[in-house]
Structure 1
Amino acid sequence: MAILIKNGLVINQKTGAHSFARGDVLIDGDRIIGKGGDLSARAAAFQDLQVIDATDKLVMPGFIDAHMHSNEGFEMGRYDNLPLEIWLSEVYPPFGSPAMSWREHYLRAMLVAIISLRSGVTTLQDDVINISGTPEAVDATATAFRDAGLRGWITASMWDESYCNSLPFVGDLVPADMKARLDAMPAPDWKAQIELFEELSGKWHGKDNMRIILGPCGPQRCSEKLLQEVASLSEARDLPVHCHVLETKTQAVTGEEKYGRTLVQFLKDMGLMTHRLTMNHAIWLTDEDIATMGEARCSTTHNPLANLKLGSGVSPVRRMMNAGVNVALGCDGVASADTADIFVAFKAAAGLHKIGTFDYNDWISAHEVYDMATTSAARSSLMEKEVGTLEEGMLADVILMDKTDWGFMPLHDPIKKIAFSVNSDVVTHSIVGGKLVMEDRKLTTVNENDLRGEIAEAAAKFERDHCPEMSKGAAEVRPYLDQMYDTATTREIGLYPRVKV
């Protein structure tokens, strides 16, 4: 089926500065085949043609949320005033992790998919933290995204280090009996992690708008053998690697304590510091780290909502950009960002970097954030030749925004309006791979009303049946994590003589 988007204000993309011109966009199958001017004559050749009147619409590429954890879907708004490592013990408790059915995994992912689509996200880079180490969580997530019509790039999350070995000082702080319990928890070895990746990749990669990519959870949580195997697979198959790196000062301390070097240097030594690597967060960086990242042309995801919520710090975005690092925008997991609405992350990123320096030439502009959510986000998963712009030959991932919305009056600069004046309700239509998945704010692929009750029931069940046990399990280790946190956050880091955040 062909789609003609008629007479819209269509974006022309130029990095850091974007313009709009009245014209058409023509889609055939899953690709854009024409853009600009009046394309009615070309469109007339198609017998099966849908025409969308975009006279009152802005026409733009769909947003790409470059970092998400949809598996946290039932915990939005549950936590506050907890730093990352202590927050992790609540969301991913060492004792009391919930066992969920395939359908519950599906509904949780569907909740995030619906919120994402309604905010103009057409591609979700989803790092599914799969505690069980079985295929069900990722399989259910990919199925939900497929059913909703969302393009999904899903990491097969990996870790094979024990709980105590992935955190500084904890092994010496916890009592011997607790350490024995923690060390006895089942942890698949590196071969099992790779086998699970291969199983999921074989089922989903390249099918139904899904990709399965490599996701070592964090260098400190992975053995050297696992990281080296990931590096080899990434190179052999030209696959992206998404990995949490230096989100907190505790992680910076971990690098010094565990490896005697920064985590960036450690990743380089493991063969992972390439253009295929995306470092999620990347806050606690040395000048040498940033230079290393720029030389490698690697990417980072900037997740301002989660960084603010967890008190992790402010990513040195301008310094990384100046060094040649590709910076993409992400919401992050919905138990830390507390939303999958990309407009909220967009606004945070456009405002956050205007504090911390009086040199307004170093502030991050709305247009730069727009690039983070489109072209840079595509590059972070090696898909910049497929999505992120509306050029001919690109995949037809297109969104329309209602320019008659009160916040767009007067229109001035539409990108600045997205950053400062409107919310995601302005997104009226979403097209993913040439398929209209939202029309006039109504999803066309799933029945939201039918799903709403089932999702609400599953979320309430999670809160009732699992959250108390999760908190109980977290409480067991909390005193020792508090001691670890106090030690790490007051520690002078020899590797960091001039950390700037």
Structure 2
Amino acid sequence: MNQRVLLEVGGLIETPTSVITGPSYILWNQSTIEETGAGEYLGDRSLLTVIRRRNRIAMPGLVNTHGHAAMTLFRSAGDDVPLEKWLKEKIYPLERQLTKEAVYWGTQLACWEMLTSGTTCFTDMYFYMNESARAVHESGIRGVLSIGLLGFTEEMQKQGLADSKSHYETWHGAGEGRISVMLGPHAPYTCPPAFLLQITELSQLLDLPMQIHLSETAYEVAESYRQHGTSPIGLMHSLGVLNRPVLAAHCVHVDDKDISLLAAHDVRVAHNPQSNLKLGSGIAPAVKMRQAGITLGLGTDGAASNNNLDMFEELRLAATLHKGVLQDATAITAPEALEMATVSGARAVFRPTGDGTLTAGAVADVVLLNLESPRFLPTYDLVSNIVYSASAEDVTDVFVAGQEVVRKGEPVTLDTEQIRYQIERITRNFERK
């Protein structure tokens, strides 16, 4: 394939509020979009690779702002219990059996699922992240990767900091820029204040953002008040953590003071509606946070608590859940939900301005949807069709950084038969309580 590619489609979502409903095109050079427009491309085609997909809609790739990729290995292994019990009785015993090999194949499975459902960029916080990064590199997806830092002992803290620095030196900017690194303190209840200060110092030294779970459950917030006299977000503020770039996952149990702190420090929030509902954690005040000017992205969380990595489900749920809770049909509109999954998602994971759109200067992370799907008949509003009726089954082709990674619904970079075999082999040997 030539470096310059002309993609001709039957409809184009440039941004959630800029839509071309008829024949249109995208021209990119290597990984960067040069031009988009309605109708036919009128420039010189002689040195272009032309891909004609007039029965497809092009949209920006979806951005999954929170997850634990290798937890695909635990899909359905611990359902229908609250978070604290889920972690202690179901997940921790399974995680103690993880190996580097298991994490590699679990991440490959996650990449398969995400790419074929239209996700082109995701965040990951977990263990054995060198193996996760290797899987991401091979798959062609865009990954924002963090070693999950736990601070139960001084030795664990020391090793975690050293591993994070090494992970940064090895992987930040790898894959021609597809892979970036963040620091990943798991949560205030697993990282003591002194350890969080050390992580914050390393964030400053390496000029890296941080991602952390905050205020996910009412129990977590109550314990924070009991131990520290303030909320988890208030604690992060008092320690100076929020002075660094931060992506905060969940933020379900937050009050007005917490929201003001998040907004004042430009903390980005990963909203995980389906995981929060399934674990009985609650419903984050997404509308109130958006009204406060907080950048809100969407995330699936891990497949052990969702139980899939389908961002189309998160889109629809984000757009409908808050309508019902607030009894307001305008609470989050279809364009706003799509913005959360694309433009705001890209900003939440600290991607450059323009990412999450199909506009000149943005990266060519492009998803094609089947315009002939029954879910697009009739089409009064393309964005509404995408948010309220489309599904992962409608994804036909995916390009990341201008490279084709899914063709006709199948990955072109992954050996799916080998992934299936390895997942079945590895999980067959897990001991379950």
Task: Identify the TM-score tier after normalising by the shorter chain.
Answer: over 0.9
Matching residue within 8, 14, 25 for 1:6:
8
| CA separation of 1:376 and 1:53: change in aligned 2, threshold 3 A | same
The question of whether the paired residues in 1 share the 8 Å contact of 2:204 and 2:244 is answered with no
Which amino acid is the alignment partner of residue 148 of structure 2? S
Residues 429-438 or 224-233, more deviating: 224-233
Deviation at 1:40, TM superposition (A): 4.2
Which amino acid is the alignment partner of residue 439 of structure 1? R
Matching residue within 204, 215, 218 for 2:171:
204
| CA separation of 1:358 and 1:442: change in aligned 2, threshold 3 A | closer
Q: Secondary structure at the match of 1:188?
A: helix
Deviation at 1:51, TM superposition (A): 1.7
Deviation at 1:231, TM superposition (A): 2.2
The question of whether the paired residues in 2 share the 8 Å contact of 1:190 and 1:225 is answered with no
The residue that corresponds to 2:311 in the other structure is 342
1:144 counterpart = 2:135: yes
| CA separation of 1:360 and 1:6: change in aligned 2, threshold 3 A | closer
The residue that corresponds to 1:124 in the other structure is 122
The question of whether the paired residues in 2 share the 8 Å contact of 1:124 and 1:152 is answered with yes
The residue that corresponds to 1:241 in the other structure is 210
Paired residues in the alignment total: 428
The residue that corresponds to 2:419 in the other structure is 451
Matching residue within 427, 430, 433 for 1:466:
430
Taking the aligned partners of 1:214 and 1:39, their CA distance within structure 2 comes to 45
The question of whether the paired residues in 2 share the 8 Å contact of 1:299 and 1:327 is answered with yes
Residues 230-239 or 303-312, more deviating: 230-239
> Superposed, which structure 2 residues align to 1:35-54 within 5 Å?
35-37=36-38, 40-42=41-43, 44-46=45-47, 49-54=48-53
Taking the aligned partners of 2:354 and 2:44, their CA distance within structure 1 comes to 23
Larger-gyration structure (1/2): 1
Deviation at 1:236, TM superposition (A): 4.3
Which amino acid is the alignment partner of residue 88 of structure 1? L
The residue that corresponds to 1:491 in the other structure is none
What per-residue deviation string (whole Å, max 9, x for no partner) do you get for residues 459-498 of structure 1?
3x2xxx3232xx3xxxxxxxxxxxxxxxxxxxxxxxxxxx
Which amino acid is the alignment partner of residue 191 of structure 1? K
Deviation at 1:109, TM superposition (A): 0.7
Taking the aligned partners of 2:43 and 2:201, their CA distance within structure 1 comes to 46
> Superposed, which structure 2 residues align to 1:320-399 within 5 Å?
320-361=289-330, 363-385=331-353, 387-399=355-367
Which amino acid is the alignment partner of residue 436 of structure 1? E
With the length of structure 2 as denominator, give the TM-score of the two structures: 0.94
Which amino acid is the alignment partner of residue 74 of structure 1? L
Taking the aligned partners of 2:144 and 2:167, their CA distance within structure 1 comes to 12
Q: Secondary structure at the match of 1:467?
A: coil
The residue that corresponds to 2:20 in the other structure is 20
Q: Secondary structure at the match of 1:264?
A: helix
The question of whether the paired residues in 1 share the 8 Å contact of 2:200 and 2:244 is answered with no
The question of whether the paired residues in 2 share the 8 Å contact of 1:403 and 1:411 is answered with no
Taking the aligned partners of 1:230 and 1:20, their CA distance within structure 2 comes to 45
Q: Secondary structure at the match of 1:5?
A: strand
Taking the aligned partners of 1:341 and 1:96, their CA distance within structure 2 comes to 23
What per-residue deviation string (whole Å, max 9, x for no partner) do you get for residues 193-220 of structure 1?
2111011111111001211211110012
Which amino acid is the alignment partner of residue 59 of structure 1? A
1:230 counterpart = 2:230: no
| CA separation of 1:117 and 1:199: change in aligned 2, threshold 3 A | same
Taking the aligned partners of 1:268 and 1:43, their CA distance within structure 2 comes to 55
Deviation at 1:61, TM superposition (A): 1.0
Deviation at 1:232, TM superposition (A): 2.8
Taking the aligned partners of 1:76 and 1:414, their CA distance within structure 2 comes to 33
Taking the aligned partners of 1:360 and 1:340, their CA distance within structure 2 comes to 26
Taking the aligned partners of 1:238 and 1:310, their CA distance within structure 2 comes to 34
Deviation at 1:39, TM superposition (A): 6.4
The question of whether the paired residues in 1 share the 8 Å contact of 2:14 and 2:60 is answered with no
Deviation at 1:386, TM superposition (A): 5.6
What per-residue deviation string (whole Å, max 9, x for no partner) do you get for residues 325-366 of structure 1?
1110000011001101111222221221122223444x2222
Taking the aligned partners of 1:6 and 1:244, their CA distance within structure 2 comes to 41
| CA separation of 1:231 and 1:332: change in aligned 2, threshold 3 A | same
Which amino acid is the alignment partner of residue 120 of structure 2? T
Q: Secondary structure at the match of 2:167?
A: helix
The question of whether the paired residues in 2 share the 8 Å contact of 1:18 and 1:367 is answered with no
> Superposed, which structure 2 residues align to 1:156-195 within 5 Å?
156-161=147-152, 188-195=155-162
Which amino acid is the alignment partner of residue 20 of structure 1? I
The residue that corresponds to 2:379 in the other structure is 411
What per-residue deviation string (whole Å, max 9, x for no partner) do you get for residues 308-333 of structure 1?
11000000001111111111000001
Taking the aligned partners of 2:71 and 2:182, their CA distance within structure 1 comes to 19
The question of whether the paired residues in 2 share the 8 Å contact of 1:26 and 1:39 is answered with no
Taking the aligned partners of 1:206 and 1:428, their CA distance within structure 2 comes to 28
Taking the aligned partners of 1:230 and 1:263, their CA distance within structure 2 comes to 16
The question of whether the paired residues in 2 share the 8 Å contact of 1:275 and 1:299 is answered with no
Residues 390-399 or 351-360, more deviating: 351-360
Taking the aligned partners of 1:427 and 1:43, their CA distance within structure 2 comes to 30
The question of whether the paired residues in 1 share the 8 Å contact of 2:112 and 2:414 is answered with no
Q: Identity percentage over the alignment?
A: 27
Taking the aligned partners of 1:379 and 1:220, their CA distance within structure 2 comes to 27
The residue that corresponds to 2:392 in the other structure is 424
The residue that corresponds to 1:75 in the other structure is 74
The residue that corresponds to 2:223 in the other structure is 254
Which amino acid is the alignment partner of residue 432 of structure 1? V
Which amino acid is the alignment partner of residue 148 of structure 1? S
Q: Secondary structure at the match of 1:390?
A: coil
Q: Secondary structure at the match of 2:355?
A: coil
